[in-house]
Every structure is written in C-alpha cells, then in structure tokens.
C-alpha cells in the first residue's frame, strides 16, 4: 500500500471541529476524550480552541494567536512572509512526527476564508480519535 498524501493531515469542517472540542476535557495537563458516564467539571475541564492550543505544537487561527513569528524563531528559522514562515513551521513539525489538522471554514457570502491549521503530535491525534478521519 502506498501513501499518496505526502503530508499527514486531518480535515474537519467547522461543525466537526466544534463537536470535537465538546467531546474533550482537560484535567491537569492532560487532554482526553469524554466517556459516557464520566464525571466532568463543566467550568474547569471544558475545552475550547484556546485550551486546545496549549496542546498543539503550532497553529494558524483567526480565533487563537499562534505567535507565528515566535514559533519560527523557536525553530531557528527566518522568513520574509507569513506564508513562507508557516511553510517552514509545517515542514519542521511534520518532520518530527506531527500531523496537520485543518478546519475548513463555513462559507459566508459565497467566499470561504482560509482554513485554520493546527500541528499536533501524532500520538495526541490518535488518542483523541482524530486519525483516520477523512
């Protein structure tokens, strides 16, 4: 079996993204899936995009500041544009066992915005049930 996709990636619609976030809880420093019958503290353990960002390696989002230039500096790279910076960040993290997760925006007025992009570790993606989604 050959892998035709050079970039390990996960694609979610905006609705799937919200459902996914609602299926998670954070306890201490651990992010995990809610289980039926589990007891969760609604305020302390709720996961939104901001909470999820604490578990991502890097991100590009309208909702959460991913500090693109700070991340680029952390990986000791330089770039002239945001696009070039993000491409270098993606290449860096994909080469270290991460997967790219894209959240497709809902189209408003016929034109779609750029998708949000999150880089997360493959073990985290597997644990949270993201691997294998189309």
pLDDT above 80: residue 110: no
Q: What pTM value is reported for the model?
A: 0.85
d(CA 100, CA 59): 9
Tokens representing 75 are: 């990986």
**How does DSSP assign 9-72, residue by residue?**
EEEEEHHHHHHHHHTEEEETTEEEE--TT----TTTS---HHHHHTT-SEEE-SSS---HHHHH
Tokens of 29: 């420093």
pLDDT of residue 1: 39
Write the pLDDT tens digit of every residue in 14-71: 999 999 999 999 998 999 999 999 898 888 899 999 999 999 999 999 889 999 999 9
């Amino acid at each position: 079996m050959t892998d035709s996709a050079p970039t390990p990636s996960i694609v979610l619609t905006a609705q799937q993204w919200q459902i996914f976030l609602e299926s998670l809880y954070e306890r201490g420093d651990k992010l995990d899936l809610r289980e039926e019958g589990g007891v969760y503290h609604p305020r302390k353990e709720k996961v939104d995009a901001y909470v999820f960002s604490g578990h991502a390696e890097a991100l590009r989002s309208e909702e959460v500041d991913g500090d693109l230039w700070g991340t680029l500096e952390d990986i000791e790279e330089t770039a002239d544009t945001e696009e070039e910076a993000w491409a270098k960040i993606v290449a860096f993290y994909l080469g270290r066992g991460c997967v790219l997760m894209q959240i497709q925006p809902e189209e408003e007025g016929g034109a779609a915005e750029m998708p949000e992009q999150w880089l997360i570790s493959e073990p985290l993606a597997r644990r949270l049930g993201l691997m294998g989604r189309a």
